[in-house]
Structure 1
Amino acid sequence: MKTILIAGGNSGIGLQAARDLHADGHRVVLMGRDPRKGEAALASFGNHADRASFVAADLSTHDGVRDAARRILDRHDGIDALVHSTGVLTLQESRTTDGLHPFFAVNYLSRYHLTQLLLPVLRQAERPVVVMMTAAIPPTDDTDLARFPEFTAFNFGRDRKAVQLGNHHYAAHLTGTEPGLAAAVVNAGAAKTDIMRIAPWYMRAGTKILGPLIFDSVETSAHNVVEAVRRDDWQTPVYWGKPGRFEQRTPIVLDTTDTRRLMDVSRTLTGA
């Protein structure tokens, strides 16, 4: 039986992945901001909820990530897999208490920060796995990373790709620095989840009309994440770009100079 921590596991794709892995007999630890959603998520596991637990956490700030990591380390001697499904969708200019744009803080930096803090327990696993979910963003060196990490006057159309590509660079970094650890990035697809609640009105209207035609099911979107945790027959680091198609994957090969710079920046920001 594995212990699997799923950040963002109290709803949407993360919760579906948790249910699938829980059904395999594994222990799942759900992490999310809303305790009410956490309680509802735990109730959905029915008679075997004893293998599921919830940790309330705000991963948009450095202090929130540190607090979450402390509680996980206090409760668990080992974690076999860490799944990052937490994400926010915001197009507006705003800043967290750390002076960072929330899209960057949650969709990339919190993943780096939390994983780094949990490496002591991940290293106890026979083959630790770290999976990060993003929108469709293949590993490529043609992205302008000059605005990373400040993203001053954040522009979603211009900055989204650089933020999410940070996940690929971190997967490459983990593979190169943590022997035996398997790291991957998974395209979450176009599943209709709670992340759309804060999208602009025109995006919400469009998804309401076109949803039946364009959306993947949460089961399809969770499939590659679940298989990555279940199986050990894949090479790392790797990117799954097609929801539901585990055999179609792309090796993550990036400029090592860019990877080092992004990791140095991440370390400076978080101290981890």
Structure 2
Amino acid sequence: MVISGGTDGMGAALARHYLTAGDRVTVIGRSRGKFDALVAAVSEEDPSALARSRFIEADLSLVADSRRVVDRLLAHHERIDALVLAASFIRQRRETTAEGHEASWALFFLSKYLLVTGLAPLLRAAERPVIVNTAVPGARADAVDFEDLETARGFTFQRSNMQQRRANELLGILAVDDIPNLAYITWGPARLVRSSFAGDVGPGMRVTAAVLGRLLGQSPEAAVDPVIRIIDAPAPGRAAYRGATELPLGTGDRHGSDAARLAEAVEKSL
């Protein structure tokens, strides 16, 4: 199993679960210290967890780092049974990376595109491959502006967020077309999750998230229960869930043509 964003929140909860279950887990993240603490805690009960865990330090808002992660995984893994895309860092304002990409688009979509397409050979080698993409499903079908993928014109947090979510649904079309036995799940928690808030946001959003998280939020372990069931018994094809509730996915020529158009535009931008 490969988990991006596997040192915090729901990603860390999944890493702990599968290390405890005896699986091999590779975590992609920015904090070696958090990873070491996670593995040490599991190793107290099962010392073999240390040998079954790997860490790749990377900033997935950088295309170069995403490519490096792919190259390392291809070099050191024979297959990937499950790929969980859970890296997150919320930005309310438009920021540009050192590579010139809009930072949220680079983290929440470009990195996922590169991991999904680049790791396809390892997913094909698995008997029942599954990708869980924690991009909340349900964006409008017209949310992607193909002429302005990086929201250079009229950036708002809502517009940026909706575009990323819709693009990740279209990525599922590309993925299952390439790997017919793949289960590609677009998933979001049913309600707030209590976890550390990673992001560059104003005090209002930070305080609201902290207060509501304490009052109404569920633990990361409870939130990922439906994800574990999906990973353990994947069904080929695309699906979308909020918590354990399956949601309808759009179908038809428009969706396929939009997916192809998105791939063409992204390849040009890279």
TM-score using structure 1 length: 0.88
Give the unaligned 5+ runs of structure 2. none
Aligned residue in 1 for 2:164: 163
Aligned to 2:55: 54
Aligned 8 A contact 1:132 1:185 in 2? yes
Task: Indicate which of 3, 9, 15 corresponds to 1:12.
Answer: 9
Instruction: Name the counterpart of 1:102.
Output: 103
Q: What is the SS of the residue equivalent to 2:197?
A: helix
CA-to-aligned-CA distance 1:170-215 (integer Å, 9 cap, x gap): 0122112222111111104421333345332111212333323332
- Output the CA distance in 2 between the equivalents of 1:170 and 1:106: 14
Match of 2:215 in 1: 213
- Aligned with 1:230 (options 229, 232, 240): 232
Q: Which amino acid aligns with 1:228?
A: I
3-state SS of 1:59 partner: coil
> Residues 121, 144 of structure 1: CA spacing in aligned structure 2 closer, same or farther, 3 A cutoff?
closer
Q: Which amino acid aligns with 1:249?
A: E
1:202 aligns with 2:199: no
Residue 36 of structure 1 corresponds to 33
1:220-263 Cα distance to aligned partner (Å, 9 max, x none): 3222222221113x35200011x2x2xx2124324222111112
Q: Look up the SS of the partner of 1:65 in the other structure.
A: helix
For the residues of structure 2 that align with 1:269 and 1:71, how far apart are their CA atoms? 23
Q: One-letter code of the match for 2:177?
A: G
Partners of 1:268 and 1:144 in 2: CA distance: 16
Following superposition, the deviation at residue 266 of structure 1 comes to: 2.1
Where 1:92 maps in the other structure, the secondary structure is: coil
1:262 aligns with 262
Distance 1:132-1:57 versus aligned 2 partners, 3 A rule:
same
The answer as to whether partners of 1:11 and 1:41 remain within 8 angstroms in 2 is no
Pick aligned residue for 1:45 from 18, 42, 46: 42
* Structure-1 separation of matches of 2:7 and 2:36: 8
More displaced 10-residue stretch of structure 1: 124-133 or 175-184: 175-184
Q: Within 1, Cα distance between the matches of 2:222 and 2:267?
A: 34
8 Å CA contact 2:109, 2:168 repeated in 1 = yes
Give the TM-score normalised by the residue count of structure 2. 0.89
- Determine the C-alpha separation between the residues in 1 that align with 2:226 and 2:57: 26
Matching of residue 183 in structure 1 with residue 184 in structure 2: yes
- Shift in CA distance, 220/32, structure 1 to aligned 2, threshold 3 Å: same
The amino acid that maps onto 1:267 is E
Separation (CA, whole Å) in 1 of partners of 2:145 and 2:14: 31
Q: Is the 8 A contact 1:78 1:122 kept in 2?
A: yes
User: For residue 79 of structure 1, what is the amino acid of its counterpart?
Assistant: I
1:77 counterpart SS class: coil
Asked if structure 2 preserves the Cα contact closer than 8 Å seen for 1:38 and 1:54, the reply is yes
Amino acid at match of 1:182: A
Matches within 5 A, 1:110-125: 110-125=111-126
- Aligned pairs, number: 261
CA offset digits 1:56-82 (Å, max 9, x no partner): 112111111111111112211111111
Question: In the alignment, is residue 130 of structure 1 matched against residue 131 of structure 2?
Answer: yes
Give the fraction of aligned pairs with identical amino acids, expressed as a percent.
Answer: 26
Instruction: Judge conservation of contact 2:176–2:237 (CA < 8 Å) in 1.
Output: yes
Q: Residue 150 of structure 1 aligns to which amino acid in structure 2?
A: E
